[in-house]
Chain A
Amino acid sequence: MAILTVENLRVRFKTPFGAVYALRGIDFELAKGQTLGLVGETGCGKSVTGRSIMRLLDDNAQVTHGRIIFEDKDLLQVDDGEMRRIRGNRIAMIFQDPSAALNPLFTIGQQINDVLRAHASNTREGRQSQIVELLASVGLPDPAQMADVYPHQLSGGQQQRAMIAQSLAAQPDVIIADEPTTALDVTIQAQILDLLRTLQRERAISVILITHDLGIVAETCQHVVVLYAGRVVETGSVAAIFADPQHPYTQGLLAALPRPGSRGADLTVIPGSVPSGLERIAGCAFAPRCEHVMDRCRGHQPALAEIGSAHQSACFLHEASGDG
């Protein structure tokens, strides 16, 4: 059962250099209780996808096409007041850099209190005890004291825990976590991911985890959507994709991961770089970097095609191998 469905989402940005096509038709489903990994390089449209769902794109961005269905409602159509009640309350968001995402002039407690006041009717005392509970649930020591602490008095990991507590305040059904561990130390990273996993299981929250780190996806997610230049190139269960990647881009990404035992050897890289969103891409966006490129790749865009149970890839190679 999908709780959130994104259909053919297209977003473009107006820039002084012309229109930038950030999303060029994206489809995916987030199942209830699932953790979905949204993976790709910088500029592939991961964050834009998250922001589009929240309707928090910058003013120069325009959703030109598509639907975002959340509980029978198209989020792109609901009015601003309803969208505000959905944000934080039904769909919450966690950001990359917690030191920037927390307001420096308000205590952790005050910031959670604002969220509670915006979405839940409760007394001041009720909110106070809720804040302490929330801070305890994300594993912060001394939760009662933590409420009166300012963000700069916390470590990066603690800040992210506080941020997570804030996102949980109104008991959302979906959390969009945009690179939640990128700004943190590796050891802290593992703790935060662990916390997210636990909370997701206990509270049956559905999570969209936006990341460029396939290692994190393997540890945390059940399902993966691989983005390249604003399109989904491959999607499937974590097991299927890690065991048997079909799209040349996914194969390249996995090959680029350092592996135990490969110490001293050069890391594999995908040659070339991501196309700028300024160009209109006629065929497959990955064609210029692909080692299996064929003539038709340059003129035609391959569609996502079923290649296994719960495993889809957008590449002409599959057709070729399927046909003969």
Chain B
Amino acid sequence: MVFLSFLLRRLGLSVFVLVGVLILTFIVSRVIPSNPAALYAGARPRPEQVAEIEKKLGLDKPLIEQFRVYLADLLDGDLGESYHSRRSINTDLSIFLPATLELVIAAVVIALVLGIPIGALAGAYPRSPFDYATRFVAIAGVSLPSFWLALIAQSIFFSQLGWLPLGSRISRDATLFYPIAAQTGFYLIDAAVSGNWEAWFDALHHLILPALVLSAYPLGVTIRMTQASMLEALSETYIMAARAAGLSRPVILFKLALKNAIMPALTVVGLSFAYSITGAFLVEVIFSWPGLGKYVTEAVLNVDFPVIIAVTLVVTVFYIGVNLLVDLIQALLDPRVRLV
């Protein structure tokens, strides 16, 4: 019961945040000096053409009315259509969003699976060579720009070693001979569900390099946070008490201390997870990854507001979702959180 009410309260808060972001992006998009109707009309439109389009798009109506219409469409699940390509944003997103999510999730899984054990061990053996080595890796991961890492990674693993492909989500051969039946848009899932292992391995092969590059930042953050909070947990009296009770070192480190250490680490890791979705935009461009990054870059260059707002909303929902997830995990781990 306590848990359920906790969940509902957090959800309620999330709705507030979402509505706030919605209003803000909408206002910003209308206040910025530009003429969407002229853009919509294409090259060198005549003034009466522009006026006609303004009327068609509802841009001649007062702002409140425009917002009401937008909100009504949104509640129907309609994100509108691109001024530039005139395609439905819903359709576009159903293609580009899974590509980005697949990349981001892969990066974050790498960051968590490597970062938590590495950080925990570094925290358990402070001032050891391992500790110093991980500090170096973590700081490098956080501070090296992703575009530079991407180029270096391509130069090593594609040019020099020839182990991994240069870019794109899947090879042309695989799309021709082993086409993936699209269901979720996540290649690894779709290919696995249909038992299309040739395509699955091909997609994985393409995913490794961009996912590794994108994981550098969250990996660094995870290592540093886990290390720091592990160090703190190990200095607590309950760890002294556990040692005095004769518990073994693995139990103390990886059960008693790590559970406490994960709590503060999770919050920051969650934020860096959400941050990765915008971080992915740059990595996508370098790896010709057909995701949100390329989509939104084009939209920005074309001042294609419906697309920009839609992507902003998607990213916001993602942020909120990840934070909600972190809150839930913390509430599951820590009985005291449920009371807050």
| A and B form one complex | yes
Whether B246 contacts A95 by the Cβ 8 Å rule is no
Residues in B neighbouring A85, C-beta threshold 8 A = 246
Residues in B neighbouring A49, C-beta threshold 8 A = none
Whether B246 contacts A105 by the Cβ 8 Å rule is no
Q: Of the listed stretches B41-49, B59-67, B275-283, B328-336, name the one at the interface; the rest are far from the partner chain.
A: B328-336
Whether A115 contacts B245 by the Cβ 8 Å rule is yes
Q: Of the listed stretches A14-22, A86-94, A225-233, name the one at the interface; the rest are far from the partner chain.
A: A86-94
Q: Judge if A118 is at the interface, Cβ distance under 8 Å.
A: yes
Tell me, in angstroms, the Cα distance from A103 to B238 when the chains sit together.
5
Q: Judge if B300 is at the interface, Cβ distance under 8 Å.
A: no
Q: Judge if B29 is at the interface, Cβ distance under 8 Å.
A: no
> Total A-B pairs in contact (CB under 8 Å)?
81
- Which B214-257 residues sit within 8 Å CB-CB of chain A? 236-238, 240-248, 251, 255-256
Q: Judge if A287 is at the interface, Cβ distance under 8 Å.
A: no
**Given A95-B237, A97-B237, A114-B251, is A104 in contact with B244 using a C-beta cutoff of 8 Å?**
no
**Given A103-B260, A114-B251, is A152 in contact with B242 using a C-beta cutoff of 8 Å?**
no
Classify the interface of chain B: helix, strand, loop or mixed.
helix
Whether B245 contacts A88 by the Cβ 8 Å rule is yes
**Given A105-B260, A105-B334, A118-B251, is A87 in contact with B241 using a C-beta cutoff of 8 Å?**
no
Whether A114 contacts B242 by the Cβ 8 Å rule is yes
Whether B248 contacts A95 by the Cβ 8 Å rule is no
Whether A100 contacts B236 by the Cβ 8 Å rule is yes
Q: Which of B245, B259, B333, B335 has the most CB of A within 10 A?
A: B245
Whether B240 contacts A56 by the Cβ 8 Å rule is yes
Q: What per-residue 1/0 map shows which CB atoms of B256-294 lie under 8 Å from chain A? A: 100110010000000000000000000000000000000
- Which A97-128 residues sit within 8 Å CB-CB of chain B? 97, 100-106, 114-115, 118-119
Residue of A nearest to B260 (CB): A105
Residues in B neighbouring A28, C-beta threshold 8 A = none
Q: Interface residues of B, CB < 8 Å — how many?
A: 22
Whether A103 contacts B240 by the Cβ 8 Å rule is no
Q: Judge if A298 is at the interface, Cβ distance under 8 Å.
A: no
Q: What per-residue 1/0 map shows which CB atoms of B81-120 lie under 8 Å from chain A? A: 0000000000000000000000000000000000000000
Q: Which of A56, A114, A167 has the most CB of B within 10 A?
A: A114
Q: Judge if A170 is at the interface, Cβ distance under 8 Å.
A: yes
Whether B245 contacts A100 by the Cβ 8 Å rule is no
Tell me, in angstroms, the Cα distance from A95 to B245 when the chains sit together.
11
Q: Judge if A54 is at the interface, Cβ distance under 8 Å.
A: yes
Whether B240 contacts A95 by the Cβ 8 Å rule is yes
Tell me, in angstroms, the Cα distance from A130 to B333 when the chains sit together.
26
Q: What per-residue 1/0 map shows which CB atoms of B300-340 lie under 8 Å from chain A? A: 00000000000000000000000000000000011110000
Q: In the complex, how many angstroms separate the beta carbon of A46 from the nearest chain B beta carbon?
A: 16
Which of B248, B259, B335 sits near A118, CB closer than 8 Å?
B248
Q: In the complex, how many angstroms separate the beta carbon of B299 from the nearest chain A beta carbon?
A: 45
Whether A88 contacts B244 by the Cβ 8 Å rule is yes
Residues in A neighbouring B333, C-beta threshold 8 A = 105
Tell me, in angstroms, the Cα distance from A169 to B246 when the chains sit together.
11
Q: In the complex, how many angstroms separate the beta carbon of A56 from the nearest chain B beta carbon?
A: 6
Q: Judge if A158 is at the interface, Cβ distance under 8 Å.
A: no
Q: In the complex, how many angstroms separate the beta carbon of A82 from the nearest chain B beta carbon?
A: 11
Residue of A nearest to B333 (CB): A105
Q: Judge if A242 is at the interface, Cβ distance under 8 Å.
A: no
**Given A104-B334, A105-B333, A152-B336, is A54 in contact with B245 using a C-beta cutoff of 8 Å?**
no
Residues in B neighbouring A211, C-beta threshold 8 A = none
Whether A102 contacts B242 by the Cβ 8 Å rule is no
Residues in A neighbouring B248, C-beta threshold 8 A = 84, 118
Q: Judge if A166 is at the interface, Cβ distance under 8 Å.
A: yes
Q: What per-residue 1/0 map shows which CB atoms of B144-170 lie under 8 Å from chain A? A: 000000000000000000000000000
Q: In the complex, how many angstroms separate the beta carbon of B242 from the nearest chain A beta carbon?
A: 7
Residues in B neighbouring A153, C-beta threshold 8 A = 335
Whether B246 contacts A84 by the Cβ 8 Å rule is yes
Whether B335 contacts A87 by the Cβ 8 Å rule is no
- Which A69-89 residues sit within 8 Å CB-CB of chain B? 84-89
Whether A101 contacts B336 by the Cβ 8 Å rule is no
Q: In the complex, how many angstroms separate the beta carbon of A241 from the nearest chain B beta carbon?
A: 29
The 10 A-B pairs at the shortest CB distance, nearest first, are namely: A88-B246, A87-B246, A88-B245, A100-B237, A93-B244, A101-B241, A103-B238, A150-B335, A115-B245, A101-B237
Apart from the given pairs A89-B246, A118-B251, 12 other A-B contacts in the complex at a CB distance below 8 Å: A95-B240, A97-B237, A100-B238, A102-B238, A103-B241, A105-B263, A105-B335, A114-B245, A118-B246, A163-B241, A167-B245, A169-B245
Q: List 17 A-B contacts (CB under 8 A).
A: A84-B246, A85-B246, A88-B246, A88-B247, A95-B237, A95-B240, A100-B238, A101-B240, A103-B238, A103-B241, A104-B335, A106-B256, A115-B245, A118-B247, A119-B246, A152-B335, A152-B336
